[in-house]
Amino acid sequence: MAVTHINKTDAFKALCEKTAKLNEQLEGQQVKAGRVVLVGAGPGDPDLLTVKALREIQQADFIMYDRLVSEDIRALFPEGVPAMYVGKAKSNHSVPQEQLNQLLVEKALQGLNVCRVKGGDSFVFGRGGEEMIELKEAGIDVCLVPGITAAAGATSYAGIPLTHRGVSQGCTFVTAHGKPVAPGSHPAEPELDVCWKSLAGLNHTLVFYMGLSRAGMISRELTQAGLSADTPVALIEKGCCKDQRLVRGQLHELVELVEREQVQSPALIVVGEVVNLADQLDWFAAEQARTAQTNNIEYKQLRVSPEKLSA
C-alpha cells in the first residue's frame, strides 16, 4: 500500500496564504449603507398616522424623534429599537441641526435603517429639506413619508375650515421664526422675511406656526399693514391631542389672550373670518364625549362583582 507523505510546513504555509487572502477580501468589503426615511407623524393623534408611516416606524433599526412627536405615537415605537430624542424648543436645541444632519449620515453609514420621525410634515417648517440635501450629498438612500401638517389637522379638530366658500378662498402658512442670528447681534430675535402688506391684503386664512412668543409682533404688523384690528383670531393649543384647547378673540387682543389664558406651546395662531365658524362646525368635543361614554360602557362590562369573584 502506497503511503503519501504530507509536508506539514507547506500545508501550513498554504493555509496561512489562504487565510491572508480571505482577510484582505473582508477588509476590502465595506458595510452596505443603510437607508433614512423622513416620516411625518402628523399633529399628535396616533390615528392620523398613515399606514406607510407606521410601517416604516415598525421596520426601523434606529429612531430619531422630535419634541412634537406625541407620547401616544412614541408608544408605537417597537420595543428594543433605540430611540433618540433630537427635539428643539425655543432657544433650546437638544442637538444642533448641523450635528443632527451629520448624525443621520453616520447612522446610515453604519448600515442602519434610520427612521427620522417629525411632528406634522417634514417639508412644512420641519427642516426636512435641509436633512434630505445633506443625506443625498453623502450618497445615502433617503425617502419621505408625508404627514398631516399641524395647520390642517389642528384647525380641522377645532372646527375651523382653512377655506370656506364666500369667506376665505385661500390659506397661507407662515413661520414666526426666522433664520438664527449670530450671538450678540441686534436685534436678538431673528427678523422675518415677510411682506406683511401682502398677507393683510390676501383675504386668506393666515396660520402662524411657532408664534406664541411673537404674538405682539404678529398683531402689530398685520394691523399696521391694513388688517382690521377686529379680525377674528384663534389659538389652538396641543392640536389633535386629548387635551386640545381652543382660545378665541380678536387680532387687537392677541397678546392678552396668550397671557390671560396662559397658552402653552405647541400652539398655532389662526387669523381670519373662518374662525367665526368654529361654533357651528365643532365636532371634536362631541366625539370626545362619545368616546368617553363608549369606554365607560366597556369598562362596566369588564367589571366583575365581588360575589362572582368569591363564587
| Residues designated as active site | 66, 88
Q: Which residues contact 177 (CB under 8 A, 6 or more apart)?
A: 190, 192, 209, 210
Q: Which residues contact 199 (CB under 8 A, 6 or more apart)?
A: 172, 174, 206, 222, 225, 227
- Give the distance from CA 93 to its chain's centroid: 15
Among the listed residues 206, 210, 256, 214, the one whose alpha carbon sits nearest the alpha carbon of residue 232 = 206
State the greatest distance between any 2 C-alpha atoms of the chain, in Å, as a whole number: 113
107 is written with which cell numbers?
447612522
Helices (H), the chain: 8-28, 51-58, 71-74, 97-109, 128-137, 150-157, 196-201, 215-224, 254-260, 278-281, 284-302, 306-310
Check: CB of residue 247 under 8 Å from CB of residue 237.
Answer: yes
Among the listed residues 239, 225, 124, the one whose alpha carbon sits nearest the alpha carbon of residue 172 = 124
Cα 36 from Cα 72, distance rounded (Å): 23
Burial label for 185, CB within 10 Å (0-12, 13-18, 19+), is: exposed
- 3-class DSSP state of 243: coil
Query: Which amino acid belongs to residue 62?
Result: F
Bridge partners (DSSP) listed for residue 235: 247, 269
Total count of residues recorded for the chain: 311
